[in-house]
Structure 1
Amino acid sequence: MSIWFLLNGMLLIWAIWNVAFGISSHASYIHILLGFAGFLLFIFNWTRNAVFSTIRNAENRQNRIRLARMSKRIRPYHRWVGTSALIIILLHGWAVIELYGFNLTNMKILTGFLASINLFVLVLSGWYRLLIDPRIRVRKLHIRLGITMFILVAIHFIF
């Protein structure tokens, strides 16, 4: 099993904890639910990285075949799930701005803003790779943007 499965699981548990705490302490919590929905879509897509990492490191051929088949079934939906995550996260950002205003000195808003820009470029690079340029350089950029997104989401949860 890949370390990414463990990290994704820990981030998911942390997100559930933040959502439960946020819902109990806010009068209006639609922005929290939108953010959580967008996060779930992102983490679903990002878990494909964990699957690929496990495929590369697995010694058992049958496990590699099983994981590759599962990933192949999910692949047609990958870009649409990412695009949906972007739309939901933009709605989350709009709801936050309506409630709290656009104040980049607030670390929660700043990290969310940076994460949303990163998610936009991440989704854009995925579509660019499909439609225009499938070279390895674009794939590596896409993976690095995914790692950056993971880190930015974790930092966003801290604040």
Structure 2
Amino acid sequence: MSVWFLFNAALLLWAVWNVTAGLSTHTTYVHIILGFAGFLFFIFNWTRNAVFSTIRNVESRAVKVKLARMSKRIVPYHRWTGTTALILIMLHGMSVISFYSFDLSNMKILTGMLAALNLLILVLSGWYRLLFDSSLKIRRLHIGLGISMFCLTVLHFIF
């Protein structure tokens, strides 16, 4: 099993903890639900990285084949779940700004804006790979953006 499964599971548990804490303290929670829904779509897509990492590192051919078949079934939806995550996160950001105003000195808003910008480029690079250029360079860019999205999400949860 890849270490990414553990990281993803830990981040998911942390997100659930933050959402339940946020729902108990806020009177308006539309922005929390939108952010959590967008996060779920992102973490679903990012878990594919853990599956591919496991495929590369596991010795059992039967496990490799099983994981590859599972991943193959998800591939047609990958770009659409990423796009849905982007839409939900943009709605989350708009609702946060409408509730709390736009203040880049607030670290929560700053990390959220950076994560949203990263997610926009991540989704665009995924569509670019599908439609125009599926080179190794674009693939590495896409994976690097996914890793930075994971890190920015962690930072967003911290603040």
Q: How high is the TM-score relative to the length of structure 1?
A: 1.00
Unaligned runs of 5+ in 2: none
Per the TM alignment, residue 150 of structure 1 is displaced from its structure 2 partner at its CA by 0.1
Instruction: Detail structure 1 runs of 4+ shifted over 3 Å in the superposition.
Output: none
5 Å-filtered alignment, 1:56-75, equals 56-75=56-75
Instruction: Quote the offset at 1:138 in angstroms.
Output: 0.1
* Deviation (angstroms), 1:158: 0.3
What residue is the counterpart of 2:12 in the other structure?
12
Q: CA deviation at 1:7?
A: 0.1
By how many angstroms is 1:10 displaced?
0.1
Percent identity over paired residues: 67
The AA in structure 2 aligned to 1:93 is: G
Residue of structure 1 equivalent to 2:93: 93
Q: What TM-score, normalized by structure 2, do the two folds share?
A: 1.00
1:39 is displaced (CA, Å) by 0.1
Matched, 1:82 2:91: no
Q: 2:54 matched to which residue of 1?
A: 54
The alignment's C-alpha RMSD in Å is 0.2
Confirm or deny that 1:42 pairs with 2:46.
no
CA-to-aligned-CA distance 1:65-120 (integer Å, 9 cap, x gap): 00000000000000000000000000000000000001000000000000000000
Q: What residue identity is the alignment partner of 1:84? A: T
| Secondary structure, aligned partner of 1:144 | helix
Give the AA of the match of 1:60. S
2:147 aligns with 147
1:63 match: secondary structure: helix
Residue in 2 that maps onto 1:158: 158
The alignment of Structure 1 onto Structure 2 pairs a total of residues equal to 159
Tell me the equivalent position of 1:126: 126
Aligned-pair CA distance for 1:27: 0.3
Return 5+ residue gaps in structure 1 as ranges: none
Q: What letter is aligned with 1:104? A: L
